[in-house]
Amino acid sequence: MCRWLTYSGQPIYLDSLIFEPENSLIRQSLHARKTSVTTNGDGFGVGWYGGRQVPGIYRDILPAWNDPNLKSLAHQVEASLFFAHVRASTGTATSRANCHPFGLDRWLFMHNGQVGGYDRVRRRLEALLPDDLYRHRHGTTDSELFFLLLFVHGLDENPPAAIRRTIRVIETMAAEAGATDPFRMTAALSDGARVYAIRHSSDDKPPSLFWDGTGDALTVVSEPLDAELDHWTEVAPERLLIAEVGARPRVEALL
């Protein structure tokens, strides 16, 4: 399973969270602690919001620990909101198009988990995409497909409602296709002004998700970045975390 983090708050350099902590995302790419797949070496990506409305994105298929360009970029880029992701493939190809985060217009999205029975339901779900969205379908992952389906269900108008509708549609279609494997996910989504984080599973084994609201900064992670667990709050299953940049989050029921 993949590992990811998102940060929002006062501008900081990306490497202060991606490389420097005791259990940094780079360390997690080699040895994750809270997942059955300990190595996440099937590519990586970072996305950040700078002076423009559209975020910057850098992705590659190298393992995150083995890309000097990532280390140099993270040392120089300063942002008040950024995403970072290390990938463990659940069956789709290791390609740049399949690496997270995904971006469209002002939105960034990244995901950990798997749509159960994806091979059974993929074609049905892709058929829901209108042509103007399907042309943005560059990869083959369930993650990118989930992201594009959010637009179908009204992402620009009401992000929480779009998240809920997309989950329901996927689970309904998976059941109709005879899929029996669970749909498990954590995901992060942002328009540059707000961060949305999701923890969901159709069974009782959702992927892990934590947040730290120290000061006016918010960090949301797949697993804590250090051993001082008293300042990390676990997001309960079936919850949606919502936060504006520089504000403490609110957590509400997902479904």
Q: Classify strands 184-190 and 56-60 as parallel, antiparallel or unpaired.
A: unpaired
Rounded to an integer, what distance in angstroms lies between the CA atom of residue 112 and that of residue 89?
10
- Residue-wise pLDDT for 23-45, tens only, equals 999 888 876 555 555 565 688 99
Rounded to an integer, what distance in angstroms lies between the CA atom of residue 179 and that of residue 211?
32
- Residue-wise pLDDT for 107-157, tens only, equals 999 999 999 999 999 999 999 999 999 999 999 999 999 999 999 999 999
Domains along the sequence of the chain with CATH? 3-253 (3.60.20.10)
Closest Cα to residue 46, out of 31, 58, 60, 30?
A: 58
State the pLDDT at residue 66: 86
Rounded to an integer, what distance in angstroms lies between the CA atom of residue 140 and that of residue 137?
8
pTM of the predicted structure, to 2 decimals = 0.94
| 8 A C-beta contact, residue 183 and residue 231 | no
Joined tokens for residue 136: 């943005």
Rounded to an integer, what distance in angstroms lies between the CA atom of residue 189 and that of residue 195?
6
